Structure 1
Amino acid sequence: MDLSALEIFRAVAQERSITRAALRLDRVQSNVTTRIRQLEEELGVQLFLRDGKRMTLTDRGQHFLEYTEKLLALAEEARQSMHPDIPSGHLRIGSMESTAASRLPSLLAQYHGQWPGVSLEVTTGPSRDLLEALQERRLDCALIANPVTLTAGQWVAEALASGLQGETVFTEELLLVMPAQHPRVHGPADVKIRTLAGFSRACTYRQVAENWLCSHVEGVQKNLKVQEVGSYHSILACISAGSCVGILPRSVLELQREPPKVRTHPVMNIDTQLVWRTGYGTAAFESFRDLLQSSYQSLAATARTVPM
């Protein structure tokens, strides 16, 4: 069992296809098929269920994939540690959709210009899923919304799980976004529409929205329906149609080429954190971290000089 075999196994598991895995790895299909069969024989278990050309992991295969991710991540980290002053290799970044859209494009372009030898891989998803992927070594770092809880009318930041550490790199202003015809609101009790358009439960912004909309609200109004959607464009479409409200970062709303006709109300400021596993510190990651911190400090300095 060598690293090459593990890379082939991971590619097949992710692509669920020998053909697509072979194309991705630039190998012939027969070689990929042989290496998977040899790996199964060596381990003494069936890793895949074969249904025509479709390859689906067995329970044992799924368990082995978890170890594969850890082994390959450690191998990549070890390679990069041999050249601690030169960013190189791969850097797998997880990011919320909002951050990837509004914050990362210019920063990643700048990073690539400085360190073209680093292969960047960006995966988007809700904060909770990104943290899980980070802990399982499927990501090297992640940009998440700092988890918060509404306690006694105050937003309190939650601690990161053991083995993770993080630091603030952006601050977002979350806005309650309503149909344009909705009356002006001063608090949760003024919100007439009781359907929220948002992402899955793993999304921190959705949790903030649910907590805020149900705080200081009594009776039937406390019942809140959630319409799950997959993008901010979908959220804005539901709001514009008059059927939902939503909570979005102001930075995402400002991305729209034609600002939608909606009404907004500020809810809170929430930090975006760069999170990584304790002890992880390749040159590629540290350069990315330095770039984010430099950008954050520059934005903070600009905010302090803008007259109120």
Structure 2
Amino acid sequence: MDLSDLLIFQTVLQEGGITAAARRLNRVQSNVTTRIRQLEDSLGVSLFERSGKRLQATPAAHVLQGYASQLLSLAQEAREAVASDLPQGMLRLGAMENTAAVRLPPVLAEFHQRYPAVQLELRTGATAPLIADVLSGRLDCALVCGPVSDERLHSMPFCREILLLISALGHQPLRDGRAHTLLAFDSGCAYRQRLEQWLHYSGCAVDRIVELDSYHAMISCAASGMGLALVPQALLACTPAAGSVARHALPEHIAHADTVLIRRRGQRHAAIDAFAGLLSATACPSD
């Protein structure tokens, strides 16, 4: 049973016969008759009975009529939604945790007010898995650490984060020469990757990496002397434990991290276009 079968069935029911239905559908009568028989075979019931030269709808046909109307109406609604330039439907957005916590709340509030027909779903994660989810179609778009060079993706700048290395108060990690514990997200985190590379080239040894799942945990553990962490300045500024850690400036190529919005290249999605437009209009200044 497919939608075209249901449309033919509904037309026959409305017109009261094969001939009138075929004329309305611009089909030959034999095609309409064959499609009705195929529909009956797939359902295992008779939908029409002949009474002389007229067709009489069976009780099963009247039951099917209600479902056919709903399905055809829903299909038309789906076609209009896909073709429409008005933002509506589901928007599956991904974002790094710090972006979701600090940058997105006012943007999402404005988006929700402007486009109430869009059902927004937000998922946080590290840059690498977010990129993979956009490429696979599990996410429609995502805010990740750039640059992103994959030719399958289009990226748009949103804001620039200033990253700081933090440690316990009084600790000078770049001077004491000993090995350190690194507090970080999993290996898919772009911030962690750039910090590991810089520590390696700067000669600052790391003897272990403790993976945590939140910045609040990283900041608290760094304050207690457990290890070093790399955190965005904007996030640290609104964290109660910020006064309990020492902040260490980093070289510009490490400290400056651009956040970009990525989407699949050539993708047509009115809700993504609307979200991208709002991001562009409210782009965050560098901290």
Q: TM-score, normalised by structure 1?
A: 0.63
After TM superposition, list the pairs within 5 Å mapping 1:255-266 onto structure 2: 255-257=238-240, 259-266=242-249
Quote the Cα distance in structure 2 between the aligned partners of 1:104 and 1:243. Answer: 30
RMSD: 2.4
Kindly indicate whether the alpha-carbon contact (under 8 Å) linking 2:88 and 2:117 is maintained by their aligned counterparts in 1. yes
After TM superposition, list the pairs within 5 Å mapping 1:87-166 onto structure 2: 87-147=87-147, 159-166=148-155
Kindly indicate whether the alpha-carbon contact (under 8 Å) linking 2:179 and 2:205 is maintained by their aligned counterparts in 1. no
Residue in structure 1 matching 2:166, options 163, 174, 177: 177
- Identity level (%): 33
Q: What is the CA deviation profile of residues 241-290 of structure 1, one whole-angstrom value per residue up to 9, with x for unaligned ones? A: 10201000001101214533111122211100100000113221111001
Q: What is the DSSP-based 3-state SS (H/G/I as helix, E as strand, rest coil) of the residue aligned with 1:103?
A: helix
Extract unaligned runs of 5+ from structure 1.
Answer: 3-75, 148-158, 304-308
Quote the Cα distance in structure 2 between the aligned partners of 1:223 and 1:230. Answer: 20
Against the structure 1 CA distance between its residues 193 and 77, is the aligned structure 2 distance closer, same or farther, given a 3 Å change threshold?
farther
Quote the Cα distance in structure 2 between the aligned partners of 1:191 and 1:108. Answer: 45
- Large movers: runs of 4+ above 4 Å: 76-79, 188-193
CA displacement at 1:192 relative to structure 2 = 4.7
**1:81 matched residue in structure 2:** 82
Against the structure 1 CA distance between its residues 109 and 192, is the aligned structure 2 distance closer, same or farther, given a 3 Å change threshold?
farther
Q: What is the CA deviation profile of residues 85-138 of structure 1, one whole-angstrom value per residue up to 9, with x for unaligned ones? A: x11111100000110001111110010011111100000110000011111100
Query: Which residue identity lines up with residue 164 of structure 1 in the other structure?
Result: L
Q: What is the DSSP-based 3-state SS (H/G/I as helix, E as strand, rest coil) of the residue aligned with 1:201?
A: coil
Against the structure 1 CA distance between its residues 117 and 208, is the aligned structure 2 distance closer, same or farther, given a 3 Å change threshold?
same
Query: Which residue identity lines up with residue 83 of structure 1 in the other structure?
Result: S
**2:273 matched residue in structure 1:** 286
Kindly indicate whether the alpha-carbon contact (under 8 Å) linking 2:181 and 2:206 is maintained by their aligned counterparts in 1. no
Kindly indicate whether the alpha-carbon contact (under 8 Å) linking 1:96 and 1:144 is maintained by their aligned counterparts in 2. yes
Residue in structure 1 matching 2:195, options 194, 205, 209: 209
Kindly indicate whether the alpha-carbon contact (under 8 Å) linking 2:164 and 2:231 is maintained by their aligned counterparts in 1. yes
Quote the Cα distance in structure 2 between the aligned partners of 1:263 and 1:136. Answer: 40
CA displacement at 1:212 relative to structure 2 = 1.6
Against the structure 1 CA distance between its residues 227 and 263, is the aligned structure 2 distance closer, same or farther, given a 3 Å change threshold?
same
Kindly indicate whether the alpha-carbon contact (under 8 Å) linking 1:197 and 1:246 is maintained by their aligned counterparts in 2. yes
Quote the Cα distance in structure 1 between the aligned partners of 2:271 and 2:171. Answer: 48
How many pairs does the alignment contain?
A: 209
**2:219 matched residue in structure 1:** 236
Kindly indicate whether the alpha-carbon contact (under 8 Å) linking 1:143 and 1:273 is maintained by their aligned counterparts in 2. yes
Residue in structure 2 matching 1:269, options 253, 256, 263: 256
Q: TM-score, normalised by structure 2?
A: 0.67
Kindly indicate whether the alpha-carbon contact (under 8 Å) linking 2:154 and 2:265 is maintained by their aligned counterparts in 1. yes
Q: What is the DSSP-based 3-state SS (H/G/I as helix, E as strand, rest coil) of the residue aligned with 1:143?
A: strand
